[in-house]
Structure 1
Amino acid sequence: MRRETDGTSRRMPTVAGAAPARARRLVGRTGHAVVPPRVDHAPTPLGSALHVTIQALVTWTEVHRNEVAAARAAYDVRGDG
């Protein structure tokens, strides 16, 4: 692997592997010993709680899409900034 990733340190795969491990607080991972290998992902209770907040933001964006577009267009016409 090191030959294939010329220019990276030996520590880099370890550091890069930490991000998915840290994300497991939001998303759980279940590996299955089958051929071909299979992994299932599902939100943890903490991830589910975050989903509620993100869904509220998505809903707000959908409801106010036209207002946001109009405000952007007015800004572009005025040339503010």
Structure 2
Amino acid sequence: MSRSHTHVSQEVTAQACPLVEVIDHVAGKWSISILVAAAHGPVRFTELERSIEGISRRMLTLNLRRLERDGLLTRTVHPVVPPKVEYSLTPMARELYSHLAGLVEWADRHRSSITEARTAYDSTVAAAQAAGQSRP
């Protein structure tokens, strides 16, 4: 491998690393669901738990802590008995939510096209396998 190629590879990796790190945190199945659920104002743990289908209490707790650590959620404990805890998006998370909303709109617009593409691809692969080819 040439030196120039290695340099380009290292440069691309250096530029991509922060992006990959952030995407790993905010693009997870549960993180996106939490951010979307909290986008319309402060939300309590039990409200999140009820609104996010399939998430366990443990997974919700871990994701809330991680999003708080990343500066995307603010946890507020109200001094009442029993304690009332609410989670809110930070300004940084509100900005992220505006981009997520665009992604959600894109996914809604293209859902049927993606389904059609998958069906066509699967048919092509199945036909190739039936003909003894590894891939079309």
TM-score (norm 2): 0.43
Deviation at 1:19, TM superposition (A): 3.0
1:41 match: secondary structure: strand
In 1, Cα distance between equivalents of 2:78 and 2:120: 54
Q: Identify, as 1 or 2, the structure richer in strand.
A: 1
In 1, Cα distance between equivalents of 2:99 and 2:121: 29
1:59 to 87, 100, 105: 105
Deviation at 1:21, TM superposition (A): 4.4
Q: Identify, as 1 or 2, the structure richer in helix.
A: 2
Q: How does 1:1-80 map to 2 (within 5 A)?
A: 19=66, 21-23=68-70, 25-79=71-125, 80=135
1:35 match: secondary structure: coil
In 1, Cα distance between equivalents of 2:68 and 2:107: 31
Change (3 A) 1:53 1:21: closer
What are structure 2's unaligned runs of at least 5 residues?
1-61, 126-134
Deviation at 1:64, TM superposition (A): 0.7
Equivalent pairs counted in the alignment come to 64
Letter in 2 for 1:77: S
Change (3 A) 1:31 1:41: same
1:64 match: secondary structure: helix
Letter in 2 for 1:71: A
In 1, Cα distance between equivalents of 2:96 and 2:106: 16
Letter in 2 for 1:19: R
What are structure 1's unaligned runs of at least 5 residues?
1-15
